[in-house]
Amino acid sequence: MGDRVCIRGCMQRQHFADCPDYGNEHGTCRGCVPAETRDGSLICDRCFGRTRRMITDAPDILGRIRSLGDPTKARAYDQVGTGAARNVEAPAPIPADLIDAGDAIAGTLRAWASMLEHRGWDDRGLPAGADAADAYEEAHGNASVILDELPKLANDQEMIIALTAAAIDVHPAVDGIRERWSIADAMYRWNVERPTEAFVEVQEDTEEVRVGGVSEWGNPLLTRREAAAKVDVTERTLRRWVADGDLTPAATLRVGSSKHTWFREGAVRAAQKTVEARRREKGVEG
């Protein structure tokens, strides 16, 4: 293990020799060996990938929040009542958690982008009259600024602690009240996709196995380590799925002699179902 470990205290799925689960793949310990840092970074690959993914998806989760808080259902608090239409039922107000989460995410992106572009720490909202399209464009532009600087920020202790707290820290609600909203809080609360179970369908006339599911905005990209952990297999198993043609990487990046691979979560889950179905078929045949 290298000298530098993730400053967020992450552990990897390995065990020290004195761990009761050492050598036991199915033990209860989820890992007690500190995770090594990403090259040129103070955080591990998992934290870096999750931070990058949350910032990338932040404009989309803002769009999701805005769609849930449908303006056609919102109470127009700034309208002056004339008493002419008292028999019309008032629209429902936008839930406070949608407003709080949306303001927090937009403010986080705006403040960080403003600081990185040396405009000061500006978390003020858009000018009056700005519409949803303006809000999305602003969020997308701010997210791009942060993503461009993320590799540098990841090697600055003060900066990366603050940024990961705003992006990937989770703040559970206590008695219905949440201490603050991070991007991850909003993602786990609403998500940017409609969860759809992947399926394995066998075409009897051709004996073709078709793996599918509905892929929408938020089908996240996962590193190999994240993908393996998501379906509780080893990275070696994941490589075998790729070699066998059960799983296709969504993206690859070669940096020097290193090759980085990402997979869509839906594809990983579908591959797991395909492998399990094949094992069951072999068991029946045997």
Question: pTM for the whole thing?
Answer: 0.58
Q: Is 141 helix (H, G, I), strand (E, B) or coil?
A: helix
C-alpha span between 68 and 185 (Å, rounded): 16
Query: Lowest mean pLDDT: which of 10-14, 20-24, 135-139, 258-262?
Result: 20-24
Q: List, for residues 54-69, the tens digit of each pLDDT value.
A: 999 898 888 878 777 6
Q: Is 44 helix (H, G, I), strand (E, B) or coil?
A: coil
The tokens describing 194, both together, are 């409609």
Over the Cα atoms of the chain, what is R_g? 23
Percent of the chain with pLDDT over 70: 65
Q: List, for residues 93-143, the tens digit of each pLDDT value.
A: 667 888 899 899 999 999 999 999 887 666 666 655 555 667 778 888 999
Tell me which DSSP letter residue 174 carries.
B
Write the CATH number of the domain with boundaries 193-285: 1.10.1660
Q: pLDDT value at position 237?
A: 93
The type of residue at 170 is V
> Within 10 A of 286 (CB to CB), how many other CB atoms are there?
5
Q: Where are the domains of the chain?
A: 45-75+93-189, 193-285
Query: Lowest mean pLDDT: which of 1-5, 226-230, 248-252, 264-268?
Result: 1-5
